[in-house]
Structure formats: structure tokens, C-alpha cells
Structure 1
């Protein structure tokens, strides 16, 4: 099959953990003989922040580590959907896309008489926490929604935002995320996760920072978008920050 995917970024995982799942799924599809085209917006938020923070080295590292994975950058104003979707059997459109793009792809499918299967892939909590934002997405011409949690699937069904919805849990690509034989453990806890916009601050305090402090554990945190007050909280709890 020819599979076309529209995602925020394949290249950058800066505050964009979905990139790892996308890489794993794309790699597996290619291994099974499918043709995979991945489109991402030029100068997207994640890759722009990645380059601004770390330079171009992470991009070169990605290309060296994943030589088979390539994405095509597009400008939404000039994107030719007839060309991009020519011969497609399956199209996946991620939630982190401009609502205009989501609508245009749906209209394209309708005009072509349903030439391909079209699904909206949602891996965020906005359907629960910011439903007014999700109302901007026109999914009337989509076959359904692939939601990363069962609760999210139920929201789509309850609000009738889509014809159908299925649960598609994210998972780690075990070809990449596996235990190293040379791994040397130090400390008690390693936390990998972003701070964000204080949206999970209470949970991080309750389930990570306070337990580590009270139990006097040796811990290290990795992630981005930790403001100074968050770094101060980590330091006060004796938690190292690895960036």
C-alpha cells in the first residue's frame, strides 16, 4: 500500500514525544513492504525550537540514525494535495496540524470519491481539556479517529465529532528503545518528561518531586520547557536536571 502521513514532525522530538512513535510505526510499515510518505510543515514549532536550542546537530544525528526515514516539508499555502495524495491507499492526519489542512484533506477525499481511507490521529488531551479547540477540526469526510486512549475515544463518540473512533495506544519501538548491555545504573529514579505550561505541575509535585524528597531518593529528570521555578523545585528536592 501507499501510505501518506501528515504529522507535526518526524525529525524533531523537542517537546514532541509522538515523533518516536511515528518513527517506529513508519519503520515497521516500510519493513512490511509499504511505501510511506510523511509530510511536516516547514519551520514547524518543534523543529524550530530544537534548532534554536541545540543547533543543527540533532537533525544530522537523526538522519544518520534513521537513514530510511525522510519527511517532506510543505507550505500550507502552496501544498498540492493532488500530487501529495496521488495513488494513496491510506492517509493519516495527526491532531497537531492546522485545522485548514485537516479540512482540505477531508474535502479532497470527498471530491475523489473516497479514493483512499482517511483517519484523524489524536495523541493529545485537548479533546478533554480544551474541547472548544477541537471543534475547529472538520472530520466530516474522515473514516474515523484513531485515539491514543480509550477515554479519548469515548469523547469523540459522545460528542459525535467523528463517524467512528478506535483506540490506538502509543508504544515504544523496541528496535530503538531497548536495554543496553553496557548500561550502568546510578541512582534510584529517572524521569523522562516535559514540564509544559504548568499543565501537569500539580501531578509532578505529588507523584515525583515530593516522594523523591520525602524518601530521599537519588533522581534525575530529563525533558524540556522547565521554567526557573520548576528547576528550583527540583533542586530543592535534590533532583538533578539532565536537560
Structure 2
């Protein structure tokens, strides 16, 4: 069986077992498991390039100055979307980085799951020049748990051309607002970061110290119920 077919059958099996979300909206999925450590299982993004980060025991391990990038995209245009990562914080005092960023190559345009950039130990939606960012989301989520993995998710819905943003911790909403234009990432003009907030293959701002068990991007707005139904790798 070739690798592409194996990935498709593997994703379907896992999705049927755990997820209620329609497969067609899933445009990027990284499980970091043995044999597919660097792969987007959907096949839209290029192989991960490790910039000091390491992959071991099915986790992407990022830390200060050690990050990773998937530098190419060949899938459909992404606008409305959901960013999801399952993370375990190792050092909560290493902050201002991202657990998952979608970044544009051609210009300064990104959305990211950022930790501690604006409020110490709090999750927020990072964006280029803060155009889609509420710096003090109410009530916000103060995260210092270094014992378990948590699902962090951010959804972006089109509200008359503006971004309606919702932030979730394990499927429970902790922030909601409408701000800035909804971003668009077309085929050939997107890349993914872990650890850094944004940048390019040479680097960028921000650091995190955490294990990332899995990351996904959906080209749709998931509901709280759908987020709660998601599970990382079978």
C-alpha cells in the first residue's frame, strides 16, 4: 500500500472512531507519530522543517529558540477556519510564542494560537499587527497546568467581511469578539509555524516550551460540540 493511500485510510478510521466533523473541511493535520513525523496527513502542506525543535514519542517538542515550520501549501484557499492544537506546557514562563500559526508568505498576514503575549500565562488569538486580536479576552484562560494535555482552539467566522473570533479551552469558550478583516490564505501562499508566532524560514518572534501532541486546521467553523468530540491520534 502506498503512503498516500495509507494516510487517507488512517484518517478516515480515526475520524469515524472519534470525530463528528466532516472530513472535507480538514485541510491540515499533523500527528507527529513515528513514520509520519514530518507529514501533513491531508497532504496539503509540505514536510515539516525542524529548526531546533525535536519530534519524539509522538510529540513535537518546542522550546526557547527551538521551533518548526511547514513552508508550503497546495490546498484550497483558507478563510473561515478553525485552528486546533493539543498541548502540554513544560515551562509556563516561556511565553509569546504560538502552538499553531498559519502565515502568509507574500505579506505580513497571520493568525495564531498564542500564549502569554499580552497577558501572562493566558491564551489569545495572535494576528498581524493585532488586527484580529483582542489583547484582553474576557474572561480569558489562565493556563499553568504542566501535568496534562489540553485542547486549545480558535475559530474565525465571516461576519460581513470582518472576523468573528471565538477562543476555546477543551471545547469551552473563553473569549469572543469581532475585529478586523477576515484573512485569506490562497494556494501557494501559506506556511505553518510551531513555537514562533510568525516569521519565515530564518526565524521570527516568540517562544514556547511545550509538547504538541497534534495540530489541525479546518477550513470551516467548528462548534463547541464538534470541538469536544475531537480526539488526537487514535
- TM > 0.5: no
Larger Rg: 1
Greater fraction helix: 1
TM-score where L is the length of structure 2: 0.26
Greater fraction strand: 2
Instruction: Pick 1 or 2: higher relative contact order, CA cutoff 8 A, min separation 6.
Output: 2
